[in-house]
Amino acid sequence: MREIKIGEQTIGLRASPLALLFYTQEFGRDLVGDLMKLLNVEEEPETFDSVLFLQIAWAMAKAEKGLNKQFPSFINWVSNLEYFDVSDTNIIQPIADEALDGFFRAANKPLGEGSKK
């Protein structure tokens, strides 16, 4: 779990299976697939999509709140943000880090660790 600050709002982010589900339900696409597009931006800068960062942040923020709490739709959530500075690494980097750490946990383990035969 990470927190980011956008404007005056502090937003909790949780990369969990629930975030994957919320993302697919809201946007009709796969969160990890869209994340992979963002990771290739250095090789293909023209593919940068700032809305994808917002969508991923929304899904992880909704997952952080859980099922038992009301959470705004994506458009309502974005409309309540004061601003979104794509050049601010204090916003963009934690979104990417939480997603990478949460959805690619095995990538940080030595080969064979955690798998059972």
Task: Provide φ and ψ at 10, rounded to 5°.
Answer: -100, 125
Residues 6+ apart with CB under 8 A from 2: 12, 13, 94, 97, 98
* pLDDT of residue 75 exceeding 80: yes
> Does 90 map to a domain?
yes
76 within a domain of the structure (yes/no): yes
Number of H-type helices and E-type strands within the chain: 5, 2
Mean pLDDT of the chain: 87
pLDDT of residue 112: 43
Within a domain: 83 = yes
Domain that holds residue 49: 2-7+25-104
pLDDT at 110 (0 to 100) = 47
pLDDT the model gives residue 44: 84
96 belongs to a structural domain: yes
pLDDT of residue 108: 56
Domains identified in the chain, total number: 1
For residue 117, what pLDDT band results from cuts at 50, 70 and 90? very low
* 5 SS3 class: strand
d(CA 40, CA 27): 21
Reported as type and span, the H/E element at residue 11 is strand 9-13
User: Do 8 and 82 form a contact (C-beta atoms < 8 A)?
Assistant: yes
| 32 within some domain | yes
pTM over 0.95: no
Instruction: Say if 40 falls within a structural domain.
Output: yes
Structure tokens at 53: 């960062």
Give pLDDT tens digits for 15-52: 999 999 999 999 999 999 999 988 888 888 887 888 99
Please report how the helices 50-65 and 89-103 are oriented relative to each other, as an axis angle in degrees rounded to 10.
60
Position with higher pLDDT, 39 vs 73: 73
CB atoms within 10 A of CB 22: 22
15 assigned to some structural domain: no
pLDDT band at residue 68 under the 50/70/90 scheme: confident
